Amino acid sequence: MQQITPADDGTGLALSRRMIIRKVEELTAYQFVLELKLEVYRLLASKPEMRREFKYAGQVRDALGDVEADVAEGFARKNPGEFANFVRFALASLAEVRTRLKDGVARGCLTDADVAISLVWDERARIALENLRDSQLRMAEKWKRERRGRNRTRRAPRSTGARPDS
């Protein structure tokens, strides 16, 4: 996987419209989610306060895992409408991660400086996931239009109601 830093704008990983994504790990949004997860895991492991805040730390880890799992499950379904729905779930879990990180600052076990890089990754993941969701919704609509077109051409001609002469 290409190393990504928060200073990147993500265009180095931009995918051509014609490129076929075969693995979820190839998605920029998924890569940003993984970078966020690794950064938050590093942060939580580096703070001795997290030993006594094990419930809080577990909630953050669970939310992070949900983001990653939702993107992977949606991708595996190979259906743009379903994928978009799972990306919506991922975005909700990502909002939970953001809220819990800010809560860690409010609790006094994390500082604004501690969570700064995580929040950069969170923002980048959010934007990438929103773009991914929107692209999948457009693709789902395109599939729907194409299916309607195919169904129209397969139908038998309508009867005029006239009976053949006998």
> How do residues 65-91 score in pLDDT, each as one tens digit?
999 999 999 999 999 999 999 999 999
- CB–CB of 4/32 below 8 Å? yes
pLDDT for position 11: 33
Whether 64 maps to a domain, the answer reads yes
Answer left, alpha or beta for residue 23, where phi above 0 means left and psi between -120 and 50 means alpha. Answer: beta
Burial category of 149 from C-beta neighbours within 10 Å (exposed 0-12, middle 13-18, buried 19 and up): exposed
Whether 17 maps to a domain, the answer reads no
Residues of the chain with pLDDT under 50: 1-16
Whether 111 maps to a domain, the answer reads yes
CATH number at residue 137: 1.20.1440.60
Where in the sequence is the domain holding 52, given as residue range(s)?
25-147
Q: Quote the number of domains for the chain.
A: 1
Whether 7 maps to a domain, the answer reads no
- In whole angstroms, give the CA distance from residue 44 to residue 61: 9
pLDDT for position 137: 96
Whether 2 maps to a domain, the answer reads no
